Amino acid sequence: MAQMREMMYEGKAKQVFATDDPTLAIIHYKDDATAFNGLKKGTIVGKGVINNVVSNHLMTLLKEHGVESHLVEQLSERDTLVRRVQIVPIEVIVRNIAAGSLSKRIGYPEGTKLKSTVLEYCYKNDDLGDPMINETHIAAMGLATKEEMDDIASMALKVNEVLTDYLKDLNIELIDFKLEFGRFDGRIVLADEISPDTCRFWDSKTGEKLDKDRFRRDLGDVEEAYQEILHRLMGGEKK
């Protein structure tokens, strides 16, 4: 098995370690939570364990539907072996229902159904606060090629289709989510995580928020919401 080496990178919610195999890395999920570009800080007890399991579960499902990711195998409660990708410095946001920053920007009340899926790109740069950019900026800045952006967009829409259908059966509405992609072996693969930190999940019946908005907005029962998502995904249970 790949042996863990030095820490290569520490983000707000995860650490990434090198291994003795240069093509592999280990992600370690923390309980630390931040919001508003690090302005708000806190801990969500057990979040790291839940996000590790949830993200791996969803990436395994996506693989079954032909979406390749960095996932190799889960090593422990908080650690996962992944392909060592070069991250494309773009956050890809997919939206089905207006919420969050989109609601603010276009004045649609949260929960307004969108006539078609919205794709947004943000430049991954904390100093600039991850500003929204479009495909012409991406080309002008040389962040990714046209071919890579075609792959990224079609993969993001496929992820949306697969996850929306899957979550619907668990009475979870997929409002929006954020993806990151990486380059591995000349291909684009899904990277980072897919979890209640990076998605908006609303209970289909009650509209209750089951994601990081509970932390961002001080709604309470944060840990319980993460637990509920884990429970529904792993139990496959309908409520």
Buried b (16+ CB within 10 A) or exposed e, 158-191: ebbebbbebbeebbbbbbbbbbbbbebeeebbbb
Q: Which is nearer to ligand TMP, 84 or 192 (CB)?
A: 192
Structural tokens at position 226: 């993460």
125 binds ligand ASP (CB under 6 A): no
CA distances from 101 to 47, 50, 93 (A): 24, 26, 11
Q: Determine if 37 is a binding residue for ligand ASP (CB under 6 A).
A: yes
Task: Kindly tell me which of 98 and 170 has the beta carbon lying closer to ligand TMP.
Answer: 98
Position closest to ligand ASP via CB: 34
Q: Which residues pair with 191 in a beta bridge?
A: 180
Residue list 64-123, contact with ligand TMP (CB under 6 A): 93, 99-102
d(CA 99, CA 107): 10
184 binds, among ligand ASP, ligand TMP, none (CB under 5 to 8 A by kind): none
Note whether 216 binds ligand ASP by CB under 6 A: yes
Assess 43 for contact with ligand ASP (CB under 6 A). no
- Helical segments of 142-219, H only: 146-168, 213-216
* Spacing of C-alpha 52 from chain mean position: 11
User: Binding mask 10-29 vs ligand ASP (x if CB under 6 A, - otherwise)?
Assistant: --x-----------------
101 binds, among ligand TMP, ligand ASP, none (CB under 5 to 8 A by kind): ligand TMP
For residues 117 and 176, give the distance between their C-alpha atoms in angstroms, rounded to a whole number.
Answer: 10
35 binds, among ligand TMP, ligand ASP, none (CB under 5 to 8 A by kind): ligand ASP
DSSP code for 125 = -
> 200 touches which of ligand TMP, ligand ASP, none (CB within 5 to 8 A by kind)?
ligand TMP
Residues found near ligand ASP in the complex (CB under 6 A): 12, 34-38, 212, 216
